[in-house]
Structure 1
Amino acid sequence: MAEYLLFPGRHHVLTRFQGEFLRGFGGRTVVWAVTSANHQTTKRNPVGFDRREAAIERFSVLEGIRSLVVGVVDTPPTDEFAEVTVKAVEAGTDDLVRLTPANTVVACSTPEVSKLYEQLGFPVIGVEPDGTARPWDVLLMIAAGNEQWKDLAHPATVDVFERYALDAQVARCVNDPVVGDDGGLTTTRDYKTYADAFETAADRKWLQIKDFVRPGRILDIGCATGATLQLVDRDPRFHESDLIGVEVARHLYAECVHKKEQGLFTNPNVYFYQRNMLGSAVFPARSIDTTLTLALTHEIWSYASGSRPATVQRFADALFAHTAPHGVWINSDVCGPDEPDRQVVLHLDDSDGDNPKHIAELETLEDPAAYITKLSTRARFFQFARDFRRNAKVPFSYRQNGDGLVLRLADAMDFLTRKDYVDNWLSETHEQFCGLDFAGWCGVAERAGFTIDPASKPLRNDWVITNRIAPVAAISTPTGTSLDWPTTHQLLVARR
């Protein structure tokens, strides 16, 4: 009889059926290879490895099974998955356990995965026969609020889920309307580029907002890599404050945790959460003294499921609810121009790159960034129109009038402020920078109950205008009168 039973899987939920199944293999050590062990709070992996491991150990005690639990780091789809898992077990046990076809049987119900182990020579047995609820089926019942999941889940899982309120966490992650399966906003986003940009901009943003920050509990929503909280941490005014970061994207959240583990914060009261603030209340009422949203609110608008105005209003309402008396919400972000619906004529340079006859299907290209980089400014406009309509699901209407393009001022600025984002083009075209103008964002805050501080103001990024836009573009009225460049950003200081 084989010494080991290798049981690979994500193991978010253990079932009563699995208990009955494994009892039939008494005498063997069950090696639980817990895949995606470095993922948590995502649609695909809503439960952290530590909670999964706790349930497995409790399961083993209740069933009288000798178990070894090894975490396997998430890998992209690969034909070497079986080999990766076997090697992870060796590494996770300091080479004390070496799984071979001679000493191991693999338990797996996924045909594609089973074949990979069979190709290595391992004997494979199925677990759940057709018609049996599998762990993921039970997890989806949890996400749907179906209490019958407790009849199918093993008591060990029920116990751990109830003690740590994991049923609510599973529902929040699986049902999240914004975040993708792996904890990102879009599958095409290059998070390294984003991380570098946030790190570079942190000092400039902090200089803009630091005088409005109140000590106490300071919350940075969409904290990215935690760079702004590092600057708060260095300011002696806030050495007794709690610093709290919330980041929805798994890749950026991981960097925040990594920084804390490296000792890059001197304040011991630094905490990070991976959450979508639109999902449910995260903090108690009137408990936050300062809320920072830096380069965030346009994403709330852009990735809304359903009505965008209703979604941003719900977000502002939630911020007001958790803001303490005399607390403040500081919002620094892009915004649309005044008179967003004004018809303008946009003139674009077509001599600074290629002008292909046809608009490309970027999703089919191996290197979209290289293709966009070679386009002229005018050609980029037509590419943007195609991608922006498809990804952001906005009308983006225009008509050609000679060499000019007649369109809304807000639409012109949506293109001009994004035309150089070639590394994340497909991701950026999901977002609408100019959905609301400054007055519109002020209205959102006021309807939530905030009072607008006189320091609030619309801004124009003159560096971007001078270096990125003006050299290759111009706007005029339909009658030919030249127009100055409008607002591109906002500073909104809203007080309770």
Structure 2
Amino acid sequence: MPRYLLFPGRHHLLTRFQAAYLHRLATTGHHDDPDGDHAAADGVPTATAGDDPVTVVWAVTSANHENTRRNPVPYHRREAAIERFSVLAGLRSVVVPVFDTAATDRFAEVTLKNVAATAGLELTPADTVVACSTPQVAAMYAALGFPIAGVEADVDPTPARPWDVLLRLAADDPSWRELAHPATIDVYARYRLDDLVRSVVNDPVVGDEGGLTATRDYRTYAEAFADAAQRKWAAVREHVRPGRIVDVGCGAGAVLELADREPTLRESDLIGVEVARHLYEECVHKKAQGFFANPNVFFYRRNVLGGAVFAPRSVDTTLTFALTHEIWSYGEQMASLRRFVQAIYDHTVPGGVWINSDVCGPDGRDRTVRLRLSTTDGANPAQPHPDLASLPAERVAERLAGLSTRARLDQFAVDYRFPFPHRPVDDGTGAVVELPLGAAMDFLTRKDYTDNWLSETQEEFCGLEWADWKALLADVGFEVDPASGPYRNDWIVDHRLAPAAALSTLGGAPLDWPVTHVLLVARRPVNT
């Protein structure tokens, strides 16, 4: 009999099969149960006590991840279910968190070191059996000399694995309850984790690791947002209504830091909502480090498209900065955006306000124009790269930085996720293309984002123009404050657009640069 059973895994859901298997292994030294003597009729093992019971060491991997498709359930809830499971299954257990690591062939050693550091247990092949059904992971422990118990892999036919059962839950297949252990069912019910799992696993927007895209550099993204926070807050401060103030898509919390310093808002609740795990974790870290003086500062990790975040008529001010174009881009465009706007309206108190600052398409975005681009500010390869995503991130930025503005348009046309109708104009220079005005501005407003190119080319900036915004808000029920309207960021024009590009009509008449952004101040009528 071993002294320990090491059971590594994410352990988001526990099964009846696991309970019976581990109980047999811990009490008899083997997993076979031909007579069924070691399990109760309902699949929950009966407890047996020994003088020196075997300890099951649960190495809970990805313990610092939650609310993602791969890791929907937070560690502390997983730990609670494991402890209850252990009581019901008659097991002596120790639960050890193992933080996520980059892919490594030394994963087994990293886990063993975590167990030693956290629980003080030096597990060796002489006293430990590793219970693991994943062949690649089991092979790592076997290479270190540990005997392996294959759990589900030991049985023919193979029983449903925990992740398969969790996916049944997400698909509303009631059979998950027959397979899940009562400890999981109980903890899921008490903390509404079944709803969380359904929401996260079925989310059409958020990726497996909890971000909008796998290629976004969140460090540069957060830095850029922080640099612009003062300007954003100055533009909206006068419209903020005290009370419950929510910043949806709060990034790393830079705007809420400024709101926290406002004496007139000291009695308000300041709430940040962020979907990207990297940014949410930075918000929590800031709060822990004392960045906020107001004790009523809270952060939620939620995707607003996954369902209501706040109760109806419970929020006085909602702030959104550079968010609505992402909802449009990563969701179902107008259908997703309308659901979002309706959710904002529903949670706003009568008389409350939604303040939205974002990019905006030009008026008449579908009309065809001519765009002349510089060919002398970089290289002009014969063909754009067919697959930039196959290159290391630093090589992507390096290649893009070396292209002329005209060559970047050709690369943009390859990488852009949305339709990009354009055609070169045969004027002898190769510098002119004809394309819709909205497409031209979508390229021009992204052409310098070389650090996040593969992320930014997944988004459409010019999907809506000002008339579309007014119609959408009116349809939902908002009243548009006179302070609202589109505007042009002249810094972008002077520093990014004019030095490398020019717009004209098809007849060659110069066109002024159109609007680039919109400020919306939308109020829910008092009598609603």
Q: TM-score, normalised by structure 1?
A: 0.97
Unaligned runs of 5+ in 2: 28-52
Matched, 1:463 2:491: yes
1:102 aligns with 2:130: no
Q: Which residue of 2 aligns with 1:311?
A: 336
Deviations, residues 226-251 of structure 1 (Å, cap 9, x unaligned): 11111111101111111111111111
Which whole-Å CA distance do the structure 2 matches of 1:359 and 1:221 have between them?
37
Return the alpha-carbon distance in structure 2 between the equivalents of residues 99 and 232 of structure 1. Answer: 51
For residue 33 of structure 1, give the secondary structure of its aligned residue in structure 2.
strand
User: Secondary structure at 2:354's aligned position in 1?
Assistant: strand
Paired position in structure 1 for 2:325:
298
Give the whole-Å Cα distance in 2 for the aligned partners of 1:479 and 1:458: 27
Q: Say which SS state the counterpart of residue 422 (structure 1) adopts.
A: coil
1:237 corresponds to which of 243, 264, 267 = 264
Measured after TM superposition, the shift of residue 118 of structure 1 is 0.9
Match of 1:394 in 2: 419
Partner of 1:68: 94
Aligned to 1:381, what secondary structure does the other structure show?
helix
SS of aligned partner of 1:37: coil
Of 397-406 and 169-178, the range deviating more from structure 2: 397-406
Q: Separation in 1 of the partners of 2:93 and 2:423?
A: 64
SS of 1:445's equivalent in the other structure is helix
Q: Does residue 184 of the first structure (1) align with residue 211 of the second (2)?
A: yes
Correspondence for 1:120 among 144, 165, 169: 144
Deviations 1:104-156 (A, max 9, x none): 11000011111111111111110013430110011001111122211111111
Identity %: 61
Aligned to 1:347: 372
Pairing 1:92–2:102 present:
no
Residue 335 to residue 494, structure 1, CA distance change in 2 (3 Å): same
2:516 equivalent in structure 1:
488
Is residue 2:224 matched to residue 1:197? Answer: yes
* Larger mean Cα displacement after TM superposition, 47-56 or 244-253: 244-253
Distance in 2, Cα, partners of 1:242 & 1:108? 46
Aligned counterparts of 1:131 and 1:125: Cα–Cα separation in 2: 14
Asked if 1:30 corresponds to 2:30, the answer is no
| AA partner of residue 195 (structure 1) | A
RMSD, aligned CA: 1.0
Separation in structure 1 between the aligned mates of residue 238 and residue 300 of structure 2, nearest angstrom: 25
Worse-matched range after superposition: 150-159 or 398-407: 398-407
C-alpha separation between the residues in 2 aligned to 1:404 and 1:219? 45
Do 1:442 and 1:492's aligned partners in 2 also have CA atoms closer than 8 Å? no
**3-state SS of 1:30 partner:** strand
Q: 2:200 aligns with which of 167, 173, 179?
A: 173
Deviation at 1:69, TM superposition (A): 0.4
**In the alignment, residue 412 of structure 2 is paired with which amino acid?**
F
| Contact 2:215–2:455, Cα closer than 8 Å, also in 1 | yes
Instruction: For 2:168, give the aligned amino acid.
Output: M
Task: Give the residue type in structure 2 aligned to 1:380.
Answer: R
Task: Pick one of 311, 321, 324 that aligns with 2:349.
Answer: 324
CA displacement, residues 146-189 of structure 1 (integer Å, 9 cap, x when unaligned): 22211111111111000000000000000000000010111111
CA distance in 1, matches of 2:90, 2:516: 64
Paired residue type of 1:321: D
Alignment-mate amino acid for residue 119 of structure 1: A
CA distance in 2, matches of 1:253, 1:337: 33
Instruction: Give SS of 2:304's match.
Output: coil
Tell me the secondary structure at the aligned position of residue 125 of structure 2: coil
Question: Residue 399 of structure 1 contacts residue 407 of structure 1 at CA under 8 Å; is this kept in 2?
Answer: no
**Are the aligned partners of 2:413 and 2:420 in contact in 1 as well (CA < 8 Å)?**
no
The 1-side partners of 2:519 and 2:114 are apart by 49
TM-score of the superposition, structure 2-length normalised?
0.91
Match of 1:83 in 2: 109
Counterpart of 2:315, as a letter, is: I
Query: Post-superposition shift, 1:442?
Result: 2.0
Residues in 1 aligned to 2:279 and 2:328: alpha-carbon distance in whole angstroms: 20
Deviations 1:287-341 (A, max 9, x none): 1100111000000111113xx1121111111111111010000000001011111
Shift of 1:416: 0.5
8 Å CA contact 2:480–2:522 kept in 1: the answer is yes
Aligned-pair CA distance for 1:89: 0.8
Query: Structure 1 stretch 30-39 or stretch 474-483: which is displaced more?
Result: 474-483
CA distance in 1, matches of 2:419, 2:187: 44
Indicate the SS of the match to 1:224: coil
Q: State the Cα distance separating 1:439 from its structure 2 match.
A: 1.8
Q: Which residue in the other structure is 2:175 paired with?
A: 148
Task: Give the whole-Å Cα distance in 1 for the aligned partners of 2:72 and 2:337.
Answer: 25
Match 1:416 to one of 444, 452, 467:
444
Q: Report the CA distance between 1:215 and its aligned residue.
A: 0.5
Bigger radius of gyration, 1 or 2?
Answer: 2
Please tell me whether residue 55 in structure 1 is matched to residue 119 in structure 2.
no
Contact 2:422 2:433 (C-alpha < 8 Å) held by counterparts: no
Secondary structure of 1:7's counterpart equals strand
Note if 1:286 corresponds to 2:313: yes
Where do 5+ consecutive residues of structure 1 fail to align?
none
8 Å CA contact 1:453–1:494 kept in 2: the answer is: yes
Q: CA separation in 1, counterparts of 2:497 and 2:351?
A: 40
Q: Is the 8 A contact 2:370 2:504 kept in 1?
A: yes
How many residues are treated as equivalent by the alignment? 489
